[in-house]
Structure 1
Amino acid sequence: AGKNWLPAAIGFIVSGTLIPLASLLALAVTRADGIYGLARPLGKKFALVFLILVHLTLGPLFATPRTATVPFSMFSSHFSAGMQPWALLIYSAIFFGIVYYCSLSEGKITDRVGKILNPSFLILLFIIFLIALFNPMGSTSTTAATSDYLNAAFINGFLQGYNTLDALAALAFGITVVSAIKNFKLAEGRETSLALAKTGAIGFAGIAIIYLVLVALGASSLHYFKLSENGGIAFAQIANHYLGSFGEALLATLATITCMSTAIGLVVAFAQDFHKRFPKISYRTFLTFNCLLSFAIANVGLTTIISWSTPVLMFLYPLSIALIFCGLTSKLFGNDPAVYKFTVYFTIIPALFDGLNAAPSVISGTPLAKAALAFAGHYLPFFSLGLGWLTFGIAGYLLGLGMHLYKSRAENRAVELD
């Protein structure tokens, strides 16, 4: 984003922190038991399909392979181009082998690992941030922005926030947070929601500050380094600049172990949820499948994973946002399934076009795809910005809400007549 880093960072923070916080609040307001419960007003089949899509995205297709490729990208430059695929193969095999072994006990080891290593990683970040504050690499106001960020920095930052997958993760794991708050013996409903809003706001504010500083660091680093393929490489360059080879090695080590902790949480949640929905298949079978597929996909590399995950997220995120918004405002319409259906169903088709538009050229460049994208560009407002779903989602929500109010008034009149 270069000199336009601030609006880009704000957009990123909105989708990377505020929407995940809204996910947690939606679960608390609706008292849903997770993704399936929140999507249940749309029907059992839709809820199950949506659950599977989210867990596959968080699991072996994108998020879990990334837990290995992100830390690898932080030291991959020390291998020659010809050696990098072999180094990634060996590294990811060891990585997912350890993840599989630790997850056989359903991830209990992550409690101890997280309490020690996550704070250590944050301390290292703080040291880099502090040094950068007193010794900046250069002014962020003089670095050039790429074409995407010249006129739509906020929106592109917002769309890049999809890549955190945190809104999907909050839907998948949010019930754990809600349950933890209920253990403090708070009253159901308003009291739980307020406690969740306060604690969530503090937690996500911390994450937002980290994002803000990282984006500023990235913009200032362009005075020393050319634009990198992905954030892992950029972060390693910044760490090396301020802390030397030792700092770069420490960053890669801490990132490896903390990402391993995340991977354990992801594969355990995947195996537990799928075993719950399909009890005839064992927990270990789902765990083995996830780890093997994650290992295979990790070996295509971080940049490729991001390029293929983007179209999927451009489809799933609008549906998630629509669902979250309905959940947050469900008290207005008594959780009427009609409002959910109009909002989400109106969002699906434009979101498919947004996903197609973000797909790699091998898909988006086909004659059929080009014709579909030309149609969408002509008829869908904000499609060129990646927000073709927005007006349709709003229209669906208002239409569903209007129908609910009409039905409610008709029912009230019928009661009065009786």
Structure 2
Amino acid sequence: MKFNNESLIVGFALFALFFGAGNLILPPFLGFLAGSEWYLVALGFIISAVGLPLLGIFAHARLQGSMFSFAEKISPIFSMIFCVLIYIIVIALPSPRTAAVTHEIAIAPFFNISPLITSIGYFLLVFIFVIKRSTVINNIGKYLTPAILILLLAIIFSGFFTEYKPMSTNLAELPILLGFFEGYQTFDAIAALVVGGVIIISVKLKGYSSTIEIRQLISSAAVLAGLSLLLVYGGLIFNGALVNSEFPQDVTRTELLLGISLLNLGGVAQVCLAILVALACFTTAVGIVTGTADFMAERIKKPHVYSITVIMACVVGIAVGALSVNAIIEIALPVLLLIYPLTIVLILLNVMPINFRTKFIMKAVVIATLIFSLPDALKYVISEELFANIQLYIPLSEYGLGWVIPATLAFFGSYFYEKSISNRSPQTE
């Protein structure tokens, strides 16, 4: 694996594309809940918010196509439905959430303006930044990411030298699972499918054409991005744990982040945090809008499709971004519980050797995952009592992991079935 100036720029850009609203406000709150068991909640969070996204980027480095390539082997129609659903989700939820977080932390404490005005100004800037496609990754990697990292490290490391009340015990049950599922709310496994496509196109726009060179560049960039995320998440979770005796238990995620910054940085905290939030959220919104527009331009292949998609994505962002952060998180939960398991299995299948990801195996695993993740999602939409009763008969369903055992059994069952068929074939000829 080679590391050079280009991989540093792409790695920094990849970090910034991942690190957005959820990545900033969720880790400290996890540490706050976990207290002295912060390392357990950190482990769960890192699995879903670092490990899975990195595997998604490695899969992109292997496939070197778009998100469509992840499920194309199952069925082109299924792949198209999956892609469209993902892009609708990211445009309607995590992208607008970046504007909502920016308003609550970076704008509202200083200016008495409505969330709608913030959302309009925010997505106008996103539009200006995204519309010139060839410069997106360089601008993020060279200029925005270093500023984000400097501010993040200032908040994190200043906490190590601040005196707090003694850390209290764990306030949450099953901290590893709490961390794992809170990692869903970062949208980063889904983001890996979206921004991975952005990185592939951007690298090709830089002049790279060799499959091997592209794979090496993206893989090394992913490792750099992953190490940066690991450092930042660990620091934010630990800072949240340090202050869990300083704030009431009903503190909100954004209030806690602001409180930690004030304790660690004093008078300049609000200004530093405002800049950090605005930059971190902005880069994520840029990645989502760019990825969606890239996909539409690739599939439709008509003039101005990229520009029209950017405009539509920004308009949706303005409308939803005027809502509160908590409202957007509540809307996102049932959607995530349905689409995230599918995303996870597609990522895992696409990083496996080719004999473990045949069309038959992928179909079997995806069908099993979809069927057994439905109760987790539908109980929040139709009837919690009805689907809670169904979940009693599905192992691990009470933890939101009812799909894991069926998907695993489908994987091994379909693999050994195919193997037995191939072993019998020569004898029957």
- CA 138–195 in structure 1, closer or farther in 2 if over 3 Å, else same: farther
CA contact (8 A) 1:143 1:220 kept: no
In the alignment, what sits opposite 2:145?
Answer: 118
User: TM-score with structure 1 length normalisation?
Assistant: 0.85
Aligned residue identity for 2:272: L
Gaps of 5+ in 1: none
Which segment drifts farther, 89-98 or 405-414?
A: 405-414
Equivalent residue letter for 1:68: A
Residues 1:347 and 2:364 aligned together: no
Match of 1:379 among 388, 393, 397: 393
Q: Deviations over 1:280-329 (max 9, x none)?
A: 57333222221111111112211111111122111111111111222122
CA deviation after TM superposition for structure 1 residue 197, in Å? 4.9
Q: Is the 8 A contact 1:23 1:174 kept in 2?
A: yes
Matched residue type, 1:305: I
Bigger drift between 348-357 and 110-119 goes to: 110-119
| 1:2 partner letter | A
- Going from structure 1 to structure 2, the CA distance change for 1:137 and 1:117 (only over 3 Å counts) comes to farther
- Sort the Cα spacing of 1:36 and 1:136 in 2 relative to 1 into closer, same or farther, 3 A: farther
SS in 1 for 2:281: helix
Rounded to whole Å, the distance in 2 between the matches of 1:136 and 1:117 is: 32
Q: Please, which of 395, 399, 410 is the counterpart of residue 396 of structure 1?
A: 410
Matched, 1:207 2:207: no
Give the percent of matched residue pairs that are identical in Structure 1 and Structure 2: 25
Structure 2 counterpart of 1:342, one-letter code: A
2:188 to 160, 166, 176: 166
Q: Which residue of 1 aligns with 2:101?
A: 70
Asked if the contact 2:71–2:78 (Cα under 8 Å) also holds between the matched residues in 1, the reply is yes
In the alignment, which of 328, 334, 338 is matched to residue 315 of structure 1?
A: 338
Separation of aligned partners in 1, 2:281 and 2:292? 16
**C-alpha displacement at 1:173, in angstroms?**
2.4
Counterparts of 1:206-225 in structure 2, within 5 Å, are 206-225=228-247
Distance across 1 between alignment mates of 2:208 and 2:138? 23
Q: From the superposition, tell whether residues 341 and 196 of structure 1 become closer, same or farther in structure 2 (CA, over 3 Å).
A: same
1:91 maps onto 2:113 in alignment: no
> Partner amino acid for 2:61?
A
**1:2 alignment partner in structure 2:** 34
How many residue pairs end up in the alignment? 394
Q: Is 1:105 the counterpart of 2:136 in the alignment?
A: no
SS at match of 1:225: coil
Q: Is the 8 A contact 2:59 2:351 kept in 1?
A: yes
Q: 286, 306, 319: which is aligned to 2:309?
A: 286
Picking from 62, 69, 83, the partner of 1:51 is 83
Q: Secondary structure at the residue paired with 1:74? A: helix
- Residue 247 of structure 2 aligns with an amino acid whose one-letter code is F
Distance 1:268 1:237, change over 3 A: same
- Larger RCO, structures 1/2 (Cα 8 Å, 6+ apart): 2
TM-score by length of 2: 0.83
Q: Distance in 2 between matches of 1:413 and 1:195?
A: 46
**Residue pair 2:148, 2:279 contacting (<8 A) in 1 also:** no
Say yes or no: does 1:24 pair with 2:57. yes
| Change in 2 beyond 3 A, CA 1:278/1:179 | closer
Q: Residue 323 of structure 2 is aligned with which of 281, 297, 300?
A: 300
Q: Which letter maps to 1:219?
A: A
Q: Which letter does structure 2 place at the counterpart of 1:375?
A: I
- 2:348 maps to what in 1? 325
Task: State the Cα distance separating 1:54 from its structure 2 match.
Answer: 1.4
Equivalent residue of 1:346, what SS? helix
Letter in 2 for 1:56: I
Which consecutive residues of structure 2, in runs of 5 or more, have no partner in the other structure? 1-32
